[in-house]
Structure 1
Amino acid sequence: MRVAAVQHDIDWEDRDATLRRLDGRVAAAAAGGATLVSFTEMFATGFSMNTHHTAEGQDGPIVAWMIDQAARHGVWVAGSLAMQDPGGDLPVNALCVVSPDGAVHRYDKLHPFSYAGEHERFGAGREFVTVDIDGVRVTLFVCYDLRFADEFWACARDTDAYLVVANWPAARRHHWRALLDARAIENQAYVVGVNRVGSGGGLDYTGDSRIVDPLGEVLAAGAGAETILYADLDPDVVARVRADLPFLPDRRTG
């Protein structure tokens, strides 16, 4: 399965302008052979705490745009957004993965980023989500989740690839790159990290999106500019690495 990581800028808190900016990216990725096309965290608005302005329902314009793009180009489309949560007092930072037939799979970010006050404006997710995409088991995470290795460990046996979408700032870019590599090596799985570029909310972003294989080798990387990264994810490679280097059974769980 070929994945396309779309590293892009965002028009701050301007959904419509950003979606216009991104028009054509799914088509380009599909033309490049991608089955899964991923945008970033809060990909249409930026990482804003202004949820009364940015949050919308699962039937809102952002998910509708994703559904249209997925159907039009015959690919899966992923990206997170501030989503109203009828079951909670606060909206959630929801990573949605939309299939070509319009099915929406949703993961709510487990760890709101309290350093930026996210916990005051967003509720925390409660469960892991893994989606089978053309035989590749893809487990979903958002940005700050990357710092919590135990969450990745908990899903490892049922995961071939982790998708991590982010608005990870330039000031901690080394952490982003190192943690993506570590999560791949620890769990002997692919890791696809998709981060934004540009500026927004007083922060600068350098992208540093990367796709890492189960041995920690970087298959594709980009920094600084808008780009699309591609890599082929093969579950047989994951199985072979884990058979040749059977580290996971040695992990203590208690």
Structure 2
Amino acid sequence: MKIAAVQHDIVWEDRDANFARLAPQVARAVGAGAELVLLTETFSTGFSMTPGIGEPEGGPSSEFLAAQAAEHGVWVAGTCPETDVEGELPYNTFVLAGPDGTAHRYRKLHPFADERTRFRSGTGPVTVEVGGLRITPFICYDLRFADVFWGAAPDTDVYLVPANWPSPRRHHWSALLQARAIENQAYVVGCNRVGTAGDGTEHAGDSHIVSPMGDLLATASGVETIVLADVDAAEVAATRDRFPFLGDRRHLADRKS
């Protein structure tokens, strides 16, 4: 499967403006052969803590993803602030919309800093099979918590990690994406935004697609662009056959318990 990460800027708290900007970028990714298109974390609002920024589950942001998936016959994903109960704080929700109208959701496990007071935490990882690939999404700050990646590794071929990762810690972002790929012998697709957020935070992009051996298959610097690469479940299986250390990690954990 060919996966594209759309590295884009975000108009602060303006869903309609972002939909208008992103629709042509999704189309370009599909035109380049992408079968799954990944947008950034909070692609429609920016990483906003404004009270009331949430939308109902199935609201305008997920409707945009679903419409793009249906129009182009591909899978389209990104995160948005969604609440499943009126009046409750939203989740930072990863929505994976399919061309057949299906939608899968993962809710960010690890809210970052002030996000803890404005968003609820999810309850656990979610893995979805798409086109023969086992896909597990995580979101931005989740990248720092190796244990959740480890736990999902036996059933994962590809991790998708949309983000609003700030420029001052850009080397952490790149290093951790490669580390998560190497230690779990899986592809990692990191899609980070560019530009300046409404709160003044700068973002450098550095979107990467990393192989199960930790090689950079595609990468981008600080401009709006698309990174694209083929991912193959057979390559994950072959890598794990050559270097079967995931089993050793489980055995050691069992021994300690």
Q: Do these two structures clear the TM 0.5 threshold for a shared fold by scoring above it?
A: yes
Asked if structure 1 preserves the Cα contact closer than 8 Å seen for 2:7 and 2:205, the reply is: yes
CA distance in 1, matches of 2:77, 2:190: 12
Give SS of 1:44's match.
Answer: coil
Please name the residue that 1:78 is paired with. Answer: 77
Is this contact kept in 2: 1:88–1:123, CA < 8 A? no
Identical aligned residues as a percent = 56
Identify which of 130, 135, 138 aligns with 1:138: 135
Separation in 2, partners of 1:145, 1:59: 23
> SS in structure 2 opposite 1:97?
strand
Gaps in structure 1 of 5+ consecutive residues: none
Figure out how many residues of one structure are paired with residues of the other and give that number. Answer: 251
- Judge conservation of contact 1:51–1:91 (CA < 8 Å) in 2: no
Write the distance in 2 (CA, Å) between the matches of 1:60 and 1:146: 27
Q: Distance in 1 between matches of 2:160 and 2:87?
A: 25
1:107 aligns with 2:129: no
Q: Name the counterpart of 1:44.
A: 44
Q: 1:26, CA displacement in angstroms?
A: 1.6
Correspondence 1:204-215 to 2 at 5 A: 204-215=202-213
1:80-95 maps to which residues of 2 (within 5 A)? 80-86=79-85, 89-95=88-94
Shift of 1:5: 0.3
SS at match of 2:229: strand
For residues 239 and 87 of structure 2, what CA distance do their matches in structure 1 show? 41
Query: Which deviates further from its counterpart, 69-78 or 59-68?
Result: 59-68
Instruction: Write the distance in 2 (CA, Å) between the matches of 1:144 and 1:86.
Output: 24
Query: 2: distance between equivalents of 1:245 and 1:230?
Result: 26
Q: Show CA shifts across 1:67-112 (max 9, x none).
A: 1110000000000001113188321000000000111100000000
Q: 2:156 is matched by which residue type in structure 1? A: T
Aligned ranges 1:195-210 → 2 under 5 Å: 195-200=192-197, 201-210=199-208
Name the structure 1 match of 2:16. 16
Q: Paired residue for 2:158?
A: 161
Match of 2:227 in 1: 229
State the alpha-carbon separation in 1 of the partners of residues 71 and 57 from structure 2. 19
TM-score, structure 2 normalization = 0.96
Greater mean alpha carbon deviation, residues 79-88 or residues 194-203 = 79-88
Give the equivalent residue in structure 2 for 1:5. Answer: 5
Q: Work out whether residues 142 and 164 of structure 1, in 8 Å CA contact, stay in contact via their aligned partners in 2.
A: yes
- Give the Cα–Cα distance (whole angstroms) in 2 for the partners of residues 144 and 227 of structure 1: 23
Distance 1:130 1:250 in 2: 23
